[in-house]
Amino acid sequence: MNVPVSDSRPYLCDLVPERAFRQVTGHSGTLTSSWDGPQTDNGLCLASGTGNEWPLGVSWEYRNGEKTVRFQERNWADSDPHKVPAELGRGLAVVIHTAGANKRPNYVIAVFKCGKKRPWISIDFAPVVRGRDAVQDMFDFMRIAEKRFGEIHKCEPRPS
């Protein structure tokens, strides 16, 4: 049974609920996430596991949202991308079958409004456990990430 992704603390990279991430990916080891520096107008965060494993990546930026999404649409055009639901803004979700077993084949990006700004967020993560709908999980993670982004940056997320 595909249990829906739910929002709960604690979060990995401030935006992805750890419990849901573990449920979706089956990851049971230690996870530690850290941002690459202060998040003034952009950020990059990786969650590390044991050894040389990085099962989650999160990026965001206030600039170039439309340009970045257009680039990703062209980049993944041959990989059966799925448009994100309209309430999440403009973007796509794709399962990258050539990423390999130890990589992050699930990729979702969306540009949306948050107050007067138009940020974009991308999330890429480890393979999902058998029987899960990776695309729906990506949409759910983005929905939670946008809500959390609004809470952290004190703005109300809306479609772009």
The candidate with the shortest Cα–Cα distance to 5, out of 83, 19, 113, 13, is: 19
Q: pTM to 2 decimals?
A: 0.95
Number of H helices, E strands in the chain: 3, 10
Asked if residue 45 is part of any domain, the answer here is: yes
* pLDDT greater than 80 at residue 119: yes
pLDDT digits (tens, 9 = 90+) for 73-92: 999 999 999 999 999 999 99
Instruction: Give me the number of domains the chain comprises.
Output: 1
Whether residue 101 is predicted with pLDDT greater than 60 in this model: the reply is: no
pLDDT in tens, 61-76: 999 999 999 999 999 9
Beta bridge partners of 125: 56, 106
In a domain, 147, yes or no: yes
Q: What is the CATH number of the domain that holds 54?
A: 3.40.1000
- Given this model, what pLDDT does residue 20 score? 98
Please check whether residue 3 lies inside any domain of the structure: no
Q: What is the helix (H) or strand (E) element at residue 28, kind and residue range?
A: none
pLDDT of residue 102: 58
Q: Is residue 37 part of a domain?
A: yes
Is residue 40, in this structure, part of any structural domain at all?
yes
Does a structural domain hold residue 111?
yes
* Identity of the amino acid at 59: S
Instruction: Domain of residue 129: give its range.
Output: 11-159
The percent of residues in the chain predicted with pLDDT above 90, rounded, is: 85
The whole-angstrom separation of Cα 31 and Cα 47 is 6
Between 116 and 98, the more confident residue is 116
> DSSP code of 86?
G
